[in-house]
Amino acid sequence: MPVPIPGNPLGYTLVYAIESPRGPVLIDAGWNHPDAWEALSDGFAALGIDVADVYGVVVTHFHPDHAGLAGQVREVSGAWIAMHEADAAIVTLMRGLADDEHRDFQAEMLRRAGAEGLDVSVAVAERPVPPAQPDRTLRDGDIVDVPGRGLRAIHTPGHTPGHLCLRLEDRLFTGDHVLPDITPHVGIYPYDRTDVDPLGDFLKSLEKVAEQGPLTALPAHEWIFPDVGARALQIRHHHEERLHTLATLLTSSGEPLTIWEIAAMMTWNRAWDDLSPMLRGLAAGEAAAHLRTLEARGEIRRVSGVDPVRFQALDS
């Protein structure tokens, strides 16, 4: 069921329903908006499903275009909501954070990245309502409670720390992890963290999916496509090329550069100056994730004791 994401170029989230003797179980639920709820309700009607009969909602990751409507489905049906424990922890954190704390966190993160002259109030997107707290958490390899179907959770961190793909026989629900044409956003927040490596995780998760073989992919955006493994390796190749280009850029610069300076030198789908402040913030997150992976691999270094943080090639 395509569920619209109002005002977002992605267009829609694909919500799937799996039949079971206890009632249908949804994979994702869509954005929390009246138009989205109407589309979801129409989708149910077309399938002959009564929303009140929904038995559970498995959320691939905590982002609002996936988890947003899960709470409303639960209210109507009493369904359980399940997500990976790492994303459930983020939901707890989000629900406990006041709007001004959220804004201060973002402002400080942008400052430490060297984002001078950026209007933080514009760069900080309006915060969506935090998703509903799940009733159940999942881990890698868990069989999800869809009676008689053997739906298995596969932990694929990268796009979020707790992203899940779900395997049903020869099909794989891929959430945002593997999409047929675009690649998901992989960022690091705050930008200067050194305790995680989301892009490194993402590349490993792509291999993990490729090992599942040529399954049919049922993604959360765009369209259903064959051979998820081939597409996963293609996306991995794309990031390896980007890592290589970035390492070369730092070598040729010689100078230590801020995350912001580096992001502005990288190639995006639009010129840097044409990106909105919010998109520049996301681009910096993506640049930072690539820098962190190169650092973790020992290919570049972080200059110690400078604020804003700077990176340079090993030999400069």
Task: Please report, as residue ranges, which positions from 108 to 137 form the binding site for Zn ion (by CB under 5 A).
Answer: none
Strand partners, 312: 301
Which residue number, 43 or 308, has a Cβ lying nearer to Zn ion?
43
Interface with Zn ion, residue 28, by CB under 5 A: no
Which residue number, 74 or 163, has a Cβ lying nearer to Zn ion?
163
Which residue number, 176 or 286, has a Cβ lying nearer to Zn ion?
176
Minimum gap (Å) between residue 212 Cβ and Zn ion:
21
Minimum gap (Å) between residue 5 Cβ and Zn ion:
8
Give burial (CB, 10 Å; 0-12/13-18/19+) of 117: exposed
Which residue number, 81 or 262, has a Cβ lying nearer to Zn ion?
81
Binding mask 159-188 for Zn ion (x = CB under 5 A): -----------------x------------
Residues that bind Zn ion (rule: CB under 5 A) add up to a total of 2
Strand partners, 138: 84
Least Cα distance to 157 among 18, 289, 5 occurs for 289
Residue spans of beta strands (DSSP E) within the chain: 2-4, 12-14, 16-18, 25-27, 56-58, 80-84, 136-138, 152-155, 164-168, 171-175, 216-219, 257-258, 300-303, 310-313
Least Cα distance to 30 among 139, 98, 132 occurs for 132
Binding mask 54-73 for Zn ion (x = CB under 5 A): -----------x--------
Binding mask 191-230 for Zn ion (x = CB under 5 A): ----------------------------------------
